[in-house]
Amino acid sequence: MLKSMKGTLDVGDPRTWWQAALEQLNAAPLMLRPEHIDAMHGLPDGHKDPFDRALIAQAVAERLTLVSADRDMARYKTAGLRLVR
């Protein structure tokens, strides 16, 4: 939503895009839970975007693979992040 409002991400109407994307991917949203906060606290410094840090922490805590074009995320492999670019 924030990137769409800033004009850096074109997804059409962001209010409907999220639901449509979840349905097309047959995916479910992952809520931020206490173990994700714990994983976020243990991440090394480096990435200043709090939303990206939350995604990284969720992927680490849930043992998920994070798909991202952000080259800065590669530094979190030492924290257990599985990353596909």
The one-digit pLDDT tens for each residue of the chain (85 residues) are 888 888 888 988 888 998 999 999 999 999 999 999 999 998 888 767 888 899 999 999 999 998 888 888 888 887 888 888 7
Residue labelled with tokens 């200043």: 48
Q: Alpha-carbon dihedral of residues 37, 43, 46, 50, nearest 10 degrees?
A: -10
Q: With residue 75 as reference, give the H or E element that holds it.
A: none
Delimit the domains of the chain by residue range.
1-30, 32-85
Q: pTM score, two decimals? A: 0.77
